[in-house]
Structure 1
Amino acid sequence: MKNYTLLVGLLPAIMVTGAVNAAELYNKNGNKLDLSGQIEGNHYISDDKSEDGDNSFVRFGLMGETQVNDQITGYGFYQAELTASASEDDGDNGSKTRYAYAGLKVGDAGSFDYGRNNGILYDVGGWTDVLPEFGGDSYQQTDVFMTQRAGNLATYRNKNFFNLIDGLDFAVQYQGRNDANDRNKSERNGNGWGMSTTYDLGMGLSLGAAYSSSERTNKQKEDGNGDRANALSTGLKYDENNLYLAALYAQTYNMNLYGGDDRVANKTQNVELVAQYQFESGLQPSLAWIYSKGKNLGHEVGSKYYSSEALANYIDVGANYHFNKNITAKVDYKINMLDNSAFTKDAEISTDDIVSLAIVYQF
């Protein structure tokens, strides 16, 4: 069978870690260093002028590994992104660090690393974050507690439950504070912890669940929503015979931002459904539904009070075409189902559709 079947399983990992299909820079005496990269020419088409236009970027990553002895392996990963849409005279050109962490793996005892990494909730959230361009955003938000990429994360992972139960993985994570009392001055989160478990049942079917609980910063608590931000995410996926299906349900409390003024929803209920099929020709069509309902919002517009409103609701229709493992063309159509109401206008929530057209080169 052609390598397209393998690619459909690898592509999400390529986008997240950049460690697959990497170019080997050095491999000697138990020390390895790999270079990975992604160059994407991407254009958005939308009536929402804040979204419409060039969205091109380049990412590059370095993955290092050293064999300390027959049981201990040291590793580190760094990935940066540079925005290509900014002018050369623009000093703030959108460059950022996506990942930067280092750790140790000790045989069947598991691995431990620290740095900027994926939050523990993404162990399940990543199952539906596989669309050609959009998706993975019902509750997953960058630098919002442990929902997606975030800083100050210490993570312990164990595969196959100490090598006793095949397919049963678990992880425990601690996040240090990022607030006004910390040198980052970011007001992102207080101290928190989380855990996840996933179980590969065989025949392509997996189940997963993740939980996190964090202190909110003093500034965040000024909204009166509560002292802690909590989340629970559950999911299942099927990945076999060129077919990929995934479903996610999650609830968050005092955690998710919405709207242009960075309001915080007291509670959200979130659903993500994804279906994809990989043809041997290289074509991979994709269909998804992403939904987030805000509860107890306490949002007032004039004399009207909004308590329960949809914060995200769209159908996503797209496709990848993999010419080979290095070059992909993709199109993604986000069909926005939100109403253009007084609430969405006041909260600055976009209700416009977006079409993404892109060519991706990766190694």
Structure 2
Amino acid sequence: MKRKVLAILVPALLVAGAANAAEIYNKNGNKVDFYGKVDARHTFSDNPGDDGDETYVQIGFKGETQINDMLIGYGRWEYKTYANNTEGSSDKSFNRLAFAGLKFANVGSFDYGRNYGVVYDVEAWTDMLPVFGGDSYTYTDNFMTGRTNNVATFRTSDFFGQVDGWALALQYQGNNEGSNATEDQEGTKNGHGDVRFQNGDGYGISTTYDFGSAVAELQGLSVGAAYSSSDRTNSQEGYRGVINTYGNRHHNGSVTAGGEEADAWTVGVKYDANNVYLAMMYAETRNMTPFGDNGIANKTQNFEVTAQYQFDFGLRPSLAWVYSNGIDVGVHYNEHGAHLTDQELVNYIDVGATYYFNKNFSTYIDYKINLLDEDAKFYKANGIATDDVVGIGMVYQF
């Protein structure tokens, strides 16, 4: 019996994240759930930046209040703090999510604050690995590809209550520009110090369809697509055209992206039924994706595929491939002069497994097999790691 319960609960926990939340208040139409986890993690790698203690604590709450028969107010906050530094350190804690909004009966919901960008609605399907994954093109605070600030989001499930299984999301993101040497731009208050993680105003849209809502034989099968387009900040536009040759003219350097707009689009498919989980996505970005120490890619082509199986006794092995190809991101000098080159920015196979003792405690191992060429001059010049990484850990969650 315990094994069957685990087989049901574990996939739900993976998808919902906070599905195991503790209800701490429920009275008179007001409800608050509290959730969190302690992830005791260590990673091993020949690359010093990927080797060491990665233990962290993450907590949050989700609340809602019944305003009337048609209207519900809600909010969510999530916070993360690392425990791998001295007690005097001050740069290891941050807000992951913080937003509030209203739900309008079966019409949909509208919220504002720090939230996930809608492009991540599709990316989330392959971002399911124990430690790694979900990083071919998605970065936190990089336009609407991951968690980000200053977003207003409208969501409707079942397409305004008219089509079962059809979800739609529309999003607007305000400026997160920051200041530069000559001016304070719009959104300076919430701008990022690294110009690569700023953004001008933009919009995004995502849509997914669950075939199982209409056809029982297709239970677990979903497809999705998302798109975003944003203005680039003045600092980002002024950053373009920088060429890093790093000394020897015959070494590959990099070229940062030009252009006034940053765009991303993605399509994906997911199957989640009968203890089997399969997901695949393809995406392209333009003038937005960071790479290495300083680069912004002119264009990327990205592919991710994830496969997992949930055994009744609690073991969940996984296998994945994560890939990103940068178009015209490198500059190479030879006897004929300089020319632009394409470069793989991310390329690794991931083999991992999680074992769930019960719904509150699990342990995992995750092996990232890096396929980037360790001898390539482009990676050395741009500070891109080419070493394998192994992560192990134990998780208590509630």
Q: Is 1:361 paired with 2:359?
A: no
- One-letter code aligned to 1:116: R
Of stretches 347-356 and 2-11 in structure 1, the one that deviates more from structure 2 is: 2-11
Alpha-carbon offset, residue 56 of structure 1: 0.3
Q: Which residue of 1 aligns with 2:152?
A: 154
Within the alignment, does 1:348 sit opposite 2:383 as a pair?
yes
Aligned equivalent of 2:368: 334
* 1:163 Cα offset (Å): 1.1
CA distance in structure 2 between the aligned counterparts of 1:8 and 1:271, rounded to whole angstroms: 26
Matched, 1:292 2:290: no
1:245 to 278, 284, 291: 278
Instruction: Tell me what 2:57 maps to.
Output: 58
Q: 1:199 aligns with which of 200, 209, 226?
A: 209
Equivalents in 2 of 1:10, 1:267: separation in Å? Answer: 35
Matches within 5 A, 1:211-360: 211-222=227-238, 223=240, 225-261=258-294, 263-300=295-332, 305-340=339-374, 341-360=376-395
Q: Could you tell me how far 1:25 is from its partner in structure 2?
A: 1.2
TM-score (norm 2): 0.88
Question: How far is 1:90 from its partner?
Answer: 2.0
RMSD: 1.4
In structure 2, distance between residues paired with 1:257 and 1:114: 26
Alignment of structure 1 residues 37-116 onto 2, 5 Å: 37-92=36-91, 94-116=92-114
Amino acid of the structure 1 residue aligned with 2:76? F
Contact 1:77 1:99 (C-alpha < 8 Å) held by counterparts: yes
**Displacement after TM superposition at 1:5 (Å):** 2.0
Q: How has the CA–CA distance of structure 1 residues 304 and 348 changed in structure 2, closer, same or farther, with 3 Å as cutoff? A: farther
Amino acid at match of 1:283: L
Larger radius of gyration: 2
Q: Deviations over 1:313-352 (max 9, x none)?
A: 0000000001011101000000000001100001111000
* 1:161 partner SS: helix
- The separation in 1 between residues aligned to 2:325 and 2:71, in whole angstroms, is 45
SS at match of 2:88: coil
- 3-state SS of paired residue (1:296): strand
1:220-254 per-residue CA deviation (whole Å, 9 max, x = no partner) reads: 11205100000110000000000000000000000
Residue 34 of structure 1 deviates from its aligned partner by 1.2
Question: What is the 5 A alignment of 1:108-187?
Answer: 108-180=106-178, 181=185, 182=187, 183-186=189-192, 187=195
Matched residue type, 1:162? F
Give the residue type in structure 2 aligned to 1:34.
Answer: D
Amino acid at match of 2:191: K
Deviation (angstroms), 1:304? 6.3
Greater shift in the superposed pair: 329-338 or 294-303: 294-303
Say if 1:301 and 1:346, in contact at 8 Å, map to a contact too: no
Q: Which runs of 5+ in 1 are unaligned?
A: none
SS in 2 for 1:142: coil
Q: Residues 306 and 159 of structure 1: is their aligned pair in 2 closer, same or farther, counting only changes over 3 Å?
A: same
CA contact (8 A) 1:35 1:62 kept: yes
Does the aligned pair in 2 maintain the 1:209–1:232 contact within 8 Å?
A: yes
**Alignment partners' CA distance in 2, 1:252 and 1:8:** 33
TM superposition shift of 1:185 = 3.1
Are the structure 2 counterparts of residues 87 and 304 from structure 1 closer, same or farther at C-alpha, using a change threshold of 3 Å?
farther
Any idea what SS the aligned residue of 2:234 has? coil
Q: Name structure 2 gaps, 5 residues minimum.
A: 179-184, 213-218, 242-257
Q: Distance in 2 between matches of 1:328 and 1:147?
A: 29
**Counterparts of 2:20 and 2:76, CA distance in 1:** 15
Contact 1:266–1:297 (8 Å) recurs in 2: yes
Name the aligned partner's letter for residue 129 of structure 2. L
Give distance in 1, aligned partners of 2:333 and 2:38: 43
SS in structure 2 of the partner of residue 297 of structure 1: strand
The amino acid across from 1:227 in the alignment is E
TM-score, normalised on structure 1?
A: 0.96
Number of residue pairs aligned between Structure 1 and Structure 2:
358
Q: Indicate the larger mover: 61-70 or 282-291.
A: 61-70
The question of whether the paired residues in 2 share the 8 Å contact of 1:306 and 1:343 is answered with no
| Percent of aligned positions that are identical | 52
The question of whether the paired residues in 1 share the 8 Å contact of 2:32 and 2:62 is answered with yes
Distance 2:229 2:190 in 1: 21
